[in-house]
Structure 1
Amino acid sequence: MRENIPVIRLRNKSGDLVVRDGVILCFFMRRSHKEVAPAVWRALRTYLRAIPPQSLNWYGSDDGDWLPLDDKGWEVIRKQILERPWGAMWHVDLAEDPGEAGGYFFNYQGRQLEDPLFSRDEGATTAVSFTFPTEYLLEHGPAHLRALALELAGELPFSFGYASLAFVSHQGSWFSALELFDVLERYPGFDLPRLGDTSELIGTRARGAYWLTFLGQPLLGQLGCSEGVRQALSFPEVSLQPLEGERLLVSLGEWPEAIDTTKEHHLPQYLALANLLEPFLYEPRANSFCPDRDNLRRWIRHLTRSREL
């Protein structure tokens, strides 16, 4: 419910805003950059039409600087996605603000899976994410955001994707946020996006259970196809929408859930999807710091306790 979505503003020791509340749409594709580049460009154009003008104002250059996303900058981005023929990896970062955490980000991690760097790595994927401030969700409503997620998904040959409330920040800058782990513990329904790390490992597996969960192949087949998912998620709050290419959108409710652990919740559909996906979650590297997986485990434990009350 909209009234249960918290306002989160986290700052670093210097007082800079480095994490805020928002919504993320993220898709993982076990495809090479050259196969998906036109689709990613179309999805980016769809995202731009949906958000207010000048919501993206800066882009990350190859040397690490943030440069103005003016007409010249957009031509750089277009060429980087569509025309650059060389390299094993493609990174595109677009942001509302070059310093503090704004609500709008676009992040693309493209990989040439045929390259020797990745050819033996079954976990490497190409991935893309789109973020919004929570105010966008509240203004336009969840049906609008769900329709936009479907439009973006229709462009992309995903194996897994999701939409969720999220801690929105520049890539990796959440490390410097004061009180991050306190709010992460309190709101396990908030995603902590780590697109670069996750896209190196996820392959065709799942990342977790989310408000909107997009299931592609071969994952959907491993779950028993649409009918198997339907039987496991026979709750009135859940809707299933078959998509082209034997894919499926699972919606766990009208609104995304923050899941405030200081309050009681009855969300059996989240627990059921988390348990269904558990055998197919991607595995982080040994001894790696992986708060998103830890967050999922806390989520499942909390939901299990809530069910037993």
Structure 2
Amino acid sequence: MRRTHADVAHAVWRALQIYLRAIPPGTIGWYANLDGDMAELDDKGWADIRETMFESPEAGAWHVSLAESPSCETGGYGFDYTGRRIGIPHYERDGGATSAVYLSFPTEYLLEHGPTRLRALALELGRELPFSFGYASLAFVSHPGNWYGVRRQLIPLLERYPGLDVYLLSETSTVIGTGARGAYWLTFLGQPLLDQLGGRVSLRERLCFPEVTFEPMEGERLLLTLGEWPEAMDRETGAVPRQYRALAQVLEPYLCDEGGQWPPITREFMHRWLRRLCS
């Protein structure tokens, strides 16, 4: 969301309430407190979160992180938000900063409730958020503090299964601006990105596949669904589905670049990986 924190805080809060109603009660039990330590999510915890979202003084960034367990070592249910001041050079790099949020579900949630339910929930969340780009995908989920070590171990799996996402919200949100990150099972396109792609009519012509559905949204936005179920895409047993490749090629000029200087997750590696479906 290429919006400053103050402009999106209430929308993110509403999305969080939708998420909490959708998952088993009490699943999210821990949060990163104002000192950065994991603490039990009790009444004081919620007071801290509200203070961060609505009462904190002007800053360069605002962070809310909620998890199932204090160790945050396993994937599953989780919520992470980074809000930023937008348009102020001191607080962003190359005009790419955004406010951003992710919400994760264990694979068991998808298997129990089915893709139709998860898609409906993603659409409900998307309606609340003034996004430029968003997506839902099968993904490897880890606590941000563990991410660099985890990603090194995942490289062989990423090369075999291009449908599995790997991400670090704090990294992506500093560089994506109003661009895109790739083609995913559910791909949300907002402004100005959708207009830069030629709008809905142009996309229908370029993505004329029976597997693809188009869901117009308020505010000249669009949800693309690339199939009934998300796909891991095993390179050893089959090719990348054609609709994913076609959308990736449409988005390629607008894809962001991520990554640092420490091998093997360098900027060059991430440049190639984020474009893995384009050819």
TM-score by length of 2: 0.92
CA contact (8 A) 2:257 2:270 kept: no
Give the alignment partner of residue 95 of structure 1, picking from 67, 84, 97: 67
- Gap regions ≥5 residues in structure 1: 1-28, 302-309
Q: Distance in 2 between matches of 1:45 and 1:175?
A: 30
Give the alignment partner of residue 101 of structure 2, picking from 112, 125, 128: 128
Q: Distance in 2 between matches of 1:83 and 1:55?
A: 26
After TM superposition, where is structure 1 displaced by more than 6 Å over at least 4 residues in a row? none
Q: Distance in 1 between matches of 2:158 and 2:167?
A: 12
Q: Which 10-residue stretch deviates more, 134-143 or 260-269?
A: 260-269
Q: Which residue of 2 aligns with 1:169?
A: 142
| 1:113-136 Cα deviation digits (max 9, x unpaired) | 254523674211100000000000
Query: AA paired with 2:274?
Result: L
Q: Distance in 2 between matches of 1:298 and 1:156?
A: 28
CA contact (8 A) 2:78 2:103 kept: yes
Q: Which residue of 1 aligns with 2:12?
A: 40
Matched, 1:240 2:241: no
Residue 102 of structure 1, CA deviation: 3.6
Q: Which residue of 2 aligns with 1:296?
A: 274
- Gap regions ≥5 residues in structure 2: none
Q: Distance in 2 between matches of 1:170 and 1:193?
A: 11
SS at match of 1:109: strand
User: Cα–Cα, structure 1 residues 260 and 208, in superposed 2: closer, same or farther, change >3 Å?
Assistant: same
Give the alignment partner of residue 79 of structure 2, picking from 106, 114, 131: 106
Identity of paired residues, percent? 58
Q: Which 10-residue stretch deviates more, 179-188 or 30-39?
A: 179-188
Q: Distance in 2 between matches of 1:174 and 1:119?
A: 22
Query: AA paired with 2:131?
Result: F
Residue 188 of structure 1, CA deviation: 1.0
Q: Which residue of 2 aligns with 1:221?
A: 195
User: Cα–Cα, structure 1 residues 296 and 86, in superposed 2: closer, same or farther, change >3 Å?
Assistant: closer
Residue 210 of structure 1, CA deviation: 0.5
**Larger RCO, structure (CA 8 Å, separation 6 or more):** 1
Give the alignment partner of residue 258 of structure 1, picking from 232, 239, 255: 232
Whichever structure has more strand as a proportion of its residues is: 1
Q: Which 10-residue stretch deviates more, 98-107 or 34-43?
A: 98-107
- CA-atom RMSD, angstroms? 1.8
CA contact (8 A) 1:95 1:102 kept: no
User: Cα–Cα, structure 1 residues 67 and 186, in superposed 2: closer, same or farther, change >3 Å?
Assistant: same
Q: Which residue of 2 aligns with 1:278?
A: 252
